[in-house]
Amino acid sequence: MRETRLGLLLACLLMTVVAPASRSADAPDWTRTQDVIYGRKYGLALTMDVFTPKRANGVGVIFVVSGGWFSRPEAIYPVLATPLLKRGYTVFAVVHGSQPKFTVPEIVEDMHRAVRFIRHNASRFKIDPDRLGIYGASAGGHLSLMMGTRGKDGDPKAADPVDRASSRVQAVACFFPPTDFLNWGEKGKELLNRALQPPFTAAVDFHEYDKSKALFVPVTDEKKLREIMREISPAHHVDAANAPTLILHGDKDQLVPVQQAELILAKFKEAGVPAELIVRKGAKHGWPTILDDVEKFADWFDKYLKPAKAEK
C-alpha cells in the first residue's frame, strides 16, 4: 500500500525518469554511500545516501526525497542527481520521517537535522560548509523552501555538536511546491483541520500530548491549527535573508495550484531576494521533460553557490 501511494504521488515525476535511467547506470562517474545515519528519533534511524563525484567541486546539494511527505530509501533515484554530479556537486539524498506516522512539523525538524549534520561533517564530505543548496519536487519542494526561508542558527550550548551547526542553506531550486496553506489557490482560502485530501491527510493530522490522560489528542482549536499551518508555510517566513530561489511549476497543476509559486515569488521580489519562476504552459503536476529541467537547477546552483574551484 505504501509503495502504491508513493507511486501515485510521484507518478508524473518518476514516469519521466524510468526510461532515461540508464543514463546514470552506464559507468557512473561517482560513488554512492548508502544509509548514512544523520539522526535518530523514537529509536529509529534517519538516513541519507551520499553521492560523491570523482571530480568534486567542493559544494554540497541536498536532494529532499519526498512526495506528499512520504519518504523512503527506495525512492532515491540517482538519475535525479546526475546533472548535478556531472558538474561536480556532492549530492545528499535525504530521507525524512514519513507520513502517515509523522506530521509536517515533525518532518521539517528532520530536515533541519539533516542540514546541520551535513554542515557539521563538511570536512568529512570534503565540501564547503558555507555553500549548501537544496532541491526537491512537490512536498520535497515545500521542504526545500522551508530550509530556504526558515533555516535556523545553531545552538552553541547544545549537547550534541551537530545541533550547534546552522540549518540555513544558500540556494534553493524546486518543482511545484506548496507555499501557503492559509491562502491556497486564492487569497483567504485556508486549509485547516486536516483539510488536505487523501492520501495526504495524515501529514496534517496534528496531535498534542495530554499529560492528564497520558494520550495524544487531536488539535481542534482553530487558532492553534492556524498557527501550525502558518508555521509550515514558507511564504509566511520570507525576508531579505532568504536563500536565492528558483521554482518551476505547471500552469495546469490541479494538485498544487501555480498560484502557490506566484504568491511566494511576489514576496521574494518584495523582500529583495533573488528569485525566478518558470511556468510550464499546459503542464500539470509534472511533465515529460522534467528531468531535463534539473539542468536548470544545476545552472541556478552554479550561479549562487559559486563552486570553490572558480575562486582561484
Rounded to whole angstroms, the Cα distance separating 92 from 263 reads 29
Predicted structure pTM score: 0.91
The model's pLDDT over 158-200, given as tens digits with 9 standing for 90+, comes to 999 999 999 999 999 999 999 999 999 999 999 988 888 899 9
Nearest-angstrom CA–CA distance, 140 and 121: 23
**Strand 90-95 and strand 44-53: pairing?**
antiparallel
pLDDT at residue 256, rounded to an integer: 97
- Per-residue pLDDT tens over the stretch 103-120: 999 999 999 999 999 999
pLDDT for 24 beyond 60: no
HSE-up of residue 78 (Cα within 13 Å, Cβ side)? 20
Confidence of residue 309 (pLDDT cuts 50, 70, 90): low
- Domain range annotation of the chain: 2-21+32-310
CATH level 2 (architecture), domain 2-21+32-310:
3-Layer(aba) Sandwich (3.40)
